[in-house]
Chain A
């Protein structure tokens, strides 16, 4: 491949336009910073946590923030900052695993529904709508009753309830694309269903799906926190933001830092990923890009 000087007709690569965009959009920059902090603390949790998050020290229970315990201690004397840091790990783990699995399944099923025969579309849509008709929390309660509360249960609940959402989005994108002239041209040029779906549909559908998935991360983090708050998520003593909130809830009058420590990371994560998702959409949205 020949080298192309950047100054010629070649358009900026997506990375260049992303970086350009960040310079102009402080919200996007804030989003990136928050996401980097969140992801960084999740990856580096065992090394940056100042104390063992599960070490009980009853003599230091419910202490206010101090130099040693920046966010104070909870009712068992555990260091809240360490628990918040370890909690980011749980939150991100649930979000990434479940969104990756649900996104891939939704992508596959959605493309099949959108491009395949009509009966398959009908079957898949009935399945999607059936699953979506359950409220998430009711569904989670049912699954927890059957399987017992655990991290895997939370992931399973999120996957099952998210597949229809992604499936629906991919299906409508695929249906809109299937009558595009370039798909018709590909078929007229002898491309089979695999080639049409695997190359031409996928390349057009994956961008919007990734943007929606990135905006879904805070939603899943909130679901995990919610389930853990209700005691349906991770088992104690594992640190989760929802569990921290639940612990603090009982002592909210005297020790508000517990609730604050559990709630603020949730808010910041939601804001961070939402800003990032919006920035991604602005940069990668083909409609906006083509006009440029």
Chain B
């Protein structure tokens, strides 16, 4: 079977563990339940992919981990455990110490992720404000980091401004800045969505190498299923604010248990074998998260739903150790 994959990890070797996280947004229309009982485990030194369509709550998960939620967000319940501490209970000082130091982020759009009016060097030196090293040492470190992400002539490049770099270079600079402090967890929020396909591979190769060198965990958020299959060890699939399925990459891509995961995989253009005038889509829409159905959230779009499906939200259940899904049918099949 999948012997080349390491066995499911024990809970004490988790870099980050999100349990039962529910977040609401107060909107004019009412309470929008953006996340409901989300549980995600990120094992140490592993790469976890987070996939799902737009609006399913991926960004809310990231903002919750960083505690950078919008003002109208209310954390209803849950624990985000990171190195023995609950991020949701941290003081502002502890949070600032954690951000950028132990948890780092690379954002989606490299064009806007750097301050346009400061030179790259200025920004890369400034980000080392925690270190008690001289300016020359910081400059040397910034240059070394730029070289490491594959930007030649780093010393000279430090004096340039963001608009003098291409998109791919800017994303590599953003990665260099994120990894400057050797974090334990790197959150990559769709780091290649704004780049073209060749650059995508370059960035992923670079990330994989840095991941091996630094030994951090990565939470990799992406729409690109092929990339997730290629790059990640484990995958979490989110739908409309819930984690519908999670497991290692093989379980998800070859033995998907949840109908949403299967539908998502069928929509991946890379998997389409025959010529077809229309791209496959998942019919229907995401449920309105202000007025949620009381039953399975995917029921309205589910291709395999049966009259036997109970009118209750399906609980998460183990298909096999380390592979979970929230579906009445896959749960029944096991019994």
Q: Which residues of A contact B (CB under 8 A)?
A: 1-2, 4, 8-11, 118, 180-182, 184-192, 195, 199-200, 203-204, 207, 286, 289-290
Contacts and interface: CB of A to CB of B under 8 A. Distances in A.
B30 interface: no
A19 B117 CA distance: 20
Given A118-B71, A180-B112, A188-B100, 12 more contacts: A4-B159, A10-B156, A10-B159, A182-B113, A189-B127, A190-B96, A190-B98, A190-B101, A191-B96, A195-B129, A204-B117, A286-B117
A4 B68 contact: no
A192 B159 contact: no
A190 B100 contact: yes
Contacts, number: 79
Contact of A187 (B68, B115, B163): B68
A182 B96 contact: no
Interface residues of B, number: 35
Given A181-B109, A187-B68, A189-B104, A204 B99 contact: no
B161 interface: yes
A143 B125 CA distance: 49
Interface string B107-130: 111001111111000000011011
A191 B100 contact: yes
Nearest to B156: A4
A11 B165 CA distance: 11
B160 interface: yes
Of A2, A4, A118, A189, most B-chain CB atoms within 10 Å:
A189
A283 to B, nearest CB: 14
A112 B177 CA distance: 28
Chain A contact surface mostly: helix
B114 A9 contact: no
B68 A184 contact: yes
Interface string B138-170: 000000000000000001100111011000000
B97 interface: yes
A188 B174 CA distance: 12
A150 B125 CA distance: 49
Contacts of B96: 190-192
B66 interface: yes
Contact of B164 (A9, A180, A195): A9
B225 interface: no
B87 interface: no
B297 interface: no
Nearest to B110: A181
B118 A189 contact: no
Given A11-B164, A184-B68, A188-B100, A204 B105 contact: no
B158 to A, nearest CB: 9
A11 B164 CA distance: 8
Interface in B155-202: 155-156, 159-161, 163-164, 174, 177-178
A184 B108 CA distance: 12
A185 B174 contact: yes
Interface in B213-261: none
A200 B126 CA distance: 10
B116 A10 contact: no
Contacts of B99: 187-190
